[in-house]
A and B are shown apart, each in its own frame.
Chain A
Amino acid sequence: MNTTREGQGSTAAPQIVASLGLADGSVWSLSASGGDGARAVRRIAEAMRLTPAVASAAPAAHRLVLDDAGTPYRVRDDGGVGDEVLLPRQLRPRPLDAGADAEDLLWVRVNAALRALLVLMEPCGILLAHAALIARDGRGVLLAGHGDAGKTTAALRVGEPWTALCDDSVLVVPGEDGTYWAHPWPTWSAFLWGGSGMSCATETFVRAEAVAFIHQDEALELAPLEPQRTAVRLAASASQIAVEGKDIDDAQRASRVHRFSNACRFAERVPGYTLRLDLVGPYWGLLDAALESPA
């Protein structure tokens, strides 16, 4: 991920640009000139540990521009501002926002910008899973589950040689030959209410070798899951963090179809498991065994 300020001629306001490079070689970028949009881009850049660069190399189809209110727009092939990316109403700027707490508002703008970026990514097979990511020797396992499933606890107590790369969300990117790559994603909820957040180097990645849906239990157990059930659960996990209500419009419906399709393609290639774990047992030993002889 790279950030830079670049002028647009002598009369244009300077922009802040954040570009994200993914494992498949694709580059995606967000830019803004001021106001809430620029603050959101800056916060995203910090949380994803960006390195300054001269300019974004993202093609127009992979670029978003945020206006001063933080509303995201596509970029046309000629570089001009295109159509607004339609988001769930919870993420759209509203007149009442003027009286909102600045940090809370920024959090909403950050979520809106990232949600819009995912709208661009989803047709390319990319999926944001609600999961922690642990890895050893470049081999990653997603620990997926609901908000109270214990993802953070499981990730933070993982033993060597495993390490935790993030504890809430993972960007899953299809590569060549059926390979899937996993990028750690910042824990945005940790930025709420003045929190300092949990940042991570989002451009780093590991090979996604398994997804385990975790459940708190008194015993340790790892059981294979059919690809069909893996896909449904993975899509469900992605929907949990998409900030959507039950009344969805056509744009959100299209997004859900993409998410389910992407989850299906992932589940055909990457084995899924149910992982029952307690608060003390070395669950990662089960994952070691599974990676050596996948189901």
Chain B
Amino acid sequence: MAAAVTLGTVCMASADVVAQEIEGELVIVPLAAGLGDADDALCALNASGKAIWQRLDGRRTLGGVVAELGEQFQAPRDVIEPDVLGFAAEMLRRGFLVARA
């Protein structure tokens, strides 16, 4: 069973994915499983998703990411927090992110 994602969780991109920007969206595909497996579950992040992804560097906690984004986008914490936690949980489930112990 996967560990719960909390504001204290630290995440980073999996070494088994590659991310490239195409026309403003960040497309993430798995490397090890073969790029051909990625089409049906294409992961293309918009500006918001990209802003979160780029901060998941294995050092910041998700709480830190929430604080940074709140400051950058002048948005209340209770709006950003569920987005960041939900994003991280989904990316972890798909294996695009790994949680640092």
Contact = CB atoms under 8 A, between A and B. Distances in A.
B33 interface: yes
Given A232-B39, A236-B39, A256-B18, A248 B23 contact: no
Contact of B32 (A226, A237, A246): A246
Nearest to B36: A236
Contact of B25 (A228, A238, A246, A261): A228
Contacts of B44: 226, 228
A239 B22 contact: no
Given A236-B36, A264-B20, A228 B31 contact: no
The interface centre, meaning the residue of B20, B31, B32, B39 with most chain A CB atoms within 10 A of its CB, is: B20
Given A236-B38, A236-B39, A231 B20 contact: yes
B39 A260 contact: no
* Number of chain B interface residues as a range: 10 to 19
Nearest to A264: B20
B29 interface: yes
Given A228-B42, A235-B29, A257-B18, A268 B23 contact: yes
Given A256-B18, A264-B20, A264-B27, A239 B34 contact: yes
B38 A232 contact: yes
A196 B39 CA distance: 35
Contact of A235 (B21, B32, B35): B35
A267 interface: yes
B35 A264 contact: no
A232 B31 contact: no
A236 B35 contact: yes
Interface in A255-276: 256-257, 259-261, 264, 267-268
B60 to A, nearest CB: 24
Contact of A229 (B18, B21, B37, B42): B42
B42 to A, nearest CB: 6
Interface in B6-56: 18, 20-23, 25, 27, 29, 31-39, 42, 44
Interface in A66-92: none
Contacts of B22: 227-228, 231, 264, 267-268
A240 B34 CA distance: 9
Contacts of B18: 256-257, 260-261
A229 B31 CA distance: 16
B85 to A, nearest CB: 25
A157 to B, nearest CB: 26
A260 B20 contact: yes
A136 interface: no
A229 B25 contact: no
Which 8 interchain pairs have the tightest Cβ spacing? Answer: A236-B36, A264-B20, A236-B35, A235-B35, A228-B44, A228-B27, A239-B35, A264-B22
16 contacts: A226-B44, A227-B23, A228-B42, A228-B44, A229-B42, A231-B20, A231-B22, A232-B29, A232-B35, A246-B32, A248-B31, A256-B35, A259-B35, A260-B20, A264-B20, A264-B21
